[in-house]
Amino acid sequence: MSFFDFLINLFKRNKKVSIGLYGHPNSGKTTLANQIAKDWTGKDIGSASNIPHETRTVLKQEKIVIKDGENELDFDIIDTPGIATKIDYQNFLEFGLEEDEAKERAKEATKGIIEAIKWLDDVTGVLLVVDATTDPLTQTNITIIGNLEARNIPFIVVANKIDMEDANPNRIVSVFPQHTVVPVSALNGEKTDELYKVMFKKFN
């Protein structure tokens, strides 16, 4: 092995893998981040709720090591606020929030979207979390995927919420046939093993 190869290997080994969780609000990013963190470190990253835009700042969990036999993937997980094209405080009122509180939430959510997108410069891989009970063909998903392709960032489409009765992960597969789609339930950890296997292949 030449000195040059040695250097390349050294850098490869030290290359930090940062995996960002991106997707619509309420698609289950934080639930998935918590599931991964709980599986491999035993603790949660952030709090999840059914009110959209619960995560409004980027949350980071450093050094998660997942193992499968000889495979090992060492990465930081970056949980980002949900990306939307329209944020309307009135949508939060039905969850019992006061008007002022809802308006503040909308403002923070908008700031969160910009922060989430800025973090794309620092991630080396992305889990695009899609709610399998909704139509995946949205402007947000298409724009994010297009941008990830342009930036050459490897990504996995995670078809989440397969525990729900009206979930249709096959629709996501048929809409994004050229991309890797893994159906999971982040809530009860169903099929996350499959996801880890794909993560070894994609992000190592």
Partner 1 sequence: MNVCSKCETELHGDDLLDGCPNCGSKLFKFVNTKAIEEKKRREKEEQEKMEDSSPEEDITIDENSVESIKVEDKGVYEVNLLHILEGETDVYSDKEGNYAIDINALFKKSRKDEDEEEN
Closest CA to 127 of 95, 160, 166: 160
Nearest-angstrom CA–CA distance, 128 and 20: 8
Residue position matching structure tokens 């960002």: 20
Q: Which is nearer to partner 1, 20 or 195 (CB)?
A: 20
Q: Nearer Cβ to partner 1, position 113 or 123?
A: 113
Least separation, in Å, of the C-beta of 64 and partner 1? 26
| Shortest reach from residue 142's CB to partner 1, in Å | 10
Query: Is-contact 22 129, C-beta < 8 A?
Result: yes
User: What's the closest the beta carbon of residue 22 comes to partner 1, in angstroms?
Assistant: 11
- Positions touching partner 1 (CB under 8 A) are 83-91, 99, 102-104, 106-107, 109-110, 113-114, 117, 120, 135, 138-140, 143-144, 147
Rounded Cα–Cα distance for residues 115 and 56 (Å): 9
Question: Which C-beta is closer to partner 1: that of 92 or that of 203?
Answer: 92
CA distance 78 to 170: 27
Give me the least distance between CB of 190 and partner 1, in Å please: 26
- Beta strand pairing call for 71-79 and 17-23: parallel
Does residue 47 sit in helix, strand or coil? coil
| Minimum CB distance to partner 1 smaller for 56 or for 191 | 56
